[in-house]
Chains A and B, each alone.
Chain A
Amino acid sequence: MDEELSRLVKMAVSQINAGMVILDANHNIVLWNRFMQIHSGVSEGEIKGKNLFEQFPELKGTGLKKKIQSVFLLKNHAFTSWEYRPHLFQFANPHSVIGDDKWMQQDCTFSPMIDETGAVTHVCLSVFDSTNTAVYQKKLLRASGSLMKQRNKLAEINTKLEEAQNQLLQSEKMAAVGQLAAGVAHEINNPVGYVNSNVSALEGYINELLQILSAYETCEPALDQNNELIEALTQAKKSVDLDYLREDLGDLLKESKEGLDRVKKIVQDLKDFSHVDESEWQHADLHKGLDSTLNVVNNEIKYKAEVIKNYGKIPEIKCLSSQINQVFMNLLVNAAHAIETRGTITISTGAKDHGVWIEVEDTGSGISQEKLPRIFEPFFTTKPVGSGTGLGLSLSYNIIQKHKGTISVESEPNKGTKFHIWLPIDIESDDNSDANVA
């Protein structure tokens, strides 16, 4: 029976679908089973008694000797895994028809062979073909890698969508403000119109009345027989201070007309600024836009800063002027907010590289180097909670981008900030349809 068992064990070692190699303490090969013979193409007879590291010199210096030593010394099990060492023996991939790895991927185990005294006499090396697992594992890794990529992409798109939505909200708000302004302007325009014409008519009437009064006055000497009448006239003139009245009437009318002109100007600026009815790309004079914006935000600025205009000679550019005005307004209001007590805001313009540049420079508190790269991000604000939405500059940035222009910033804390905008004279016509959307 023992003989039969031994025959079966031998047969099993030979037939098992895994490589089996037995090594002695000098790394000489004692057993080389059928699996090893088939895949290596070397028969047991050829290799038996030969040193493993001489037969397979590529195994030298790869930590294998230590592994085997640890098995001898510690009665340990040692392993190699295809994940970190794809193969110990370079055998062709048995999945030769469909498969993407050239070599068989192997998991190997080094086990101690212990005699009856408890000493390790040999090491048994088993080699398992893990090519299938490896192929699936690699596929899975690739799949999960691309899933991860897609996930990240989606997350990015999501963030962009959120930003876009917020900007949309902000620009709708601005549009609503613009409409309101235009409405108010229109409503004021009517009364201002008739007050203006009435004042003009009034001026004429008063002049005529004064002429008649002068005519009467020339008749006064004819009344010298009647002292009582002369006395009454002189008294009446004195009581109304006729000379002063004459003088002041002119001034009052002049001032009223000036006031009306100012109201008309403001109304016109409000209309220019909002451009509610002009959502189309048109050629516009940026100086006009700057001036009307300055008038609209005059209240924010006048107590804080002196405005210096260094306007150069610039051509008209094709733009959405109401949106460009929004950018100017943002920059001007920010500049005013940055100035704590009193400073200057310098607006400079010029032409360069088939475009126009505009600079808004303030002598305010400046922006620190850490914050500077973030100021165009949505919701980023240095203003106290509640006073800034953090959307102004990001909106400006997007408007300038839509115009295929650039916006950049330089700043030094406690010295001031300078925004530089460049806009092309005419953005490529084929992009206009896209730009028109927002």
Chain B
Amino acid sequence: MTRLKDQFNEDRRDALQEVVNIAMGQAGDSLAKLFGTFVELSIPKFHLCDVTELNQVLSKNDAYVEKMTILRQPFSGQLRGEGIALFNNSGVNELASLMGYEGEVTFGNEREMLLDVCSILVGACLNGVASQLEISLSYTAPTIITKDTTIEEFFKPESIQWRYAMIMEICLTLEQYDFTSNMLLFLSEDSFPPLMDKLDHMLDEL
């Protein structure tokens, strides 16, 4: 753990923050075009943490106390991990029309729409990062993990396979629609060496 923290020194952290900020800018643009409305993306926060510290790190965010719908989208390639999207179950009807679903929101299309938003968010954020770092990623279909669960109930240390991970926290808000989604991108431990290499490569080129 300390070894990982040492590796993730200030230069590399700055470089990654820069890459992510650019990626978020692009993602914000694309999402605004897609939804046809102003999209606010928070500046991503990084946490490098042990699985046992997970709830401690995450509980600093008030939004995580509520019961939420939790979805995940795995990604693989040189960077491996999962995007976890959290929806607080409000603004779903508005979102449906925004996403081009007509008529009444049924069980099936509400679920599909949340899955759409999950893969859009994960894709929008990661694709920007991947293209800057010249990495190719592949995505697996997203799934709904649970409805009506709090983050704390969901992230039980014993139910998580890895010990350490890098977590990137992003919040997306569609102000006009009272819609908020929090996203957590988990990068697995074995994604660290390639990520550090890529960051070093970028730093060398500066």
Contacts and interface: CB of A to CB of B under 8 A. Distances in A.
- To the question of whether A and B form a pair in one complex, the answer is yes
Interface of A: 60-67, 69-70, 73-81, 83-85, 107, 109, 118
Interface of B (DSSP majority class): helix
A134 B119 CA distance: 22
Given A74-B30, A76-B127, A107-B141, A65 B100 contact: yes
Q: Which of B101, B109, B112, B113 gathers most chain A CB within 10 Å?
A: B112
A391 B35 CA distance: 64
A87 to B, nearest CB: 12
Contacts of B119: 76-79
Contacts of A83: 111
Interface string B94-111: 001001111100011101
Interface of chain A: mostly helix, strand, loop or mixed: mixed
A353 B143 CA distance: 62
Contacts of A64: 100
Nearest to B112: A84
A134 B139 CA distance: 22
B99 A81 contact: no
Given A63-B99, A79-B119, A81-B115, A70 B34 contact: yes
A85 B108 contact: yes
Given A74-B124, A75-B127, A61 B115 contact: no
B142 interface: yes
B103 to A, nearest CB: 7
B145 interface: no
B33 interface: yes
B50 to A, nearest CB: 31
A102 to B, nearest CB: 17
Query: Size class of B's contact patch?
Result: 20 to 34
B57 interface: no
A76 B127 CA distance: 7
Nearest to A65: B100
Contacts, number: 77
A269 B202 CA distance: 102
B141 A109 contact: yes
B123 interface: yes
B112 A81 contact: yes
A73 B113 contact: no
A83 B111 CA distance: 9
Contacts of B93: none
A77 B113 contact: no
Contacts of A81: 112, 115, 141, 143
B27 interface: yes
B101 A77 contact: no
B131 interface: yes
A76 B31 CA distance: 11
A74 B120 contact: yes
B102 A84 contact: no
Interface in B23-69: 27, 30-31, 33-34
B31 to A, nearest CB: 8
B178 interface: no
28 contacts: A61-B100, A61-B101, A61-B102, A62-B100, A62-B102, A62-B109, A63-B113, A65-B100, A66-B99, A67-B116, A70-B116, A70-B123, A73-B30, A73-B34, A74-B123, A74-B127, A75-B123, A76-B120, A76-B123, A76-B124, A77-B123, A78-B119, A79-B115, A79-B116, A79-B119, A81-B141, A85-B109, A118-B131
Given A74-B124, A76-B123, 7 more contacts: A60-B102, A61-B101, A61-B102, A63-B113, A66-B99, A74-B30, A79-B141
A63 B116 contact: yes
A61 B124 contact: no
Contacts of B131: 75, 118
Nearest to A61: B102
Contacts of A107: 141
Nearest to A75: B127
A70 B120 contact: yes
Contacts of A67: 116
Contacts of B30: 73-74
Given A62-B101, A65-B100, A76-B124, A84 B116 contact: no
Nearest to B106: A84
Contact of A63 (B31, B33, B109, B123): B109
A76 B123 CA distance: 5
Question: Ordered nearest first, which 8 A-B pairs have the shortest CB separation?
Answer: A76-B123, A61-B102, A66-B100, A79-B141, A77-B139, A84-B112, A84-B108, A84-B111
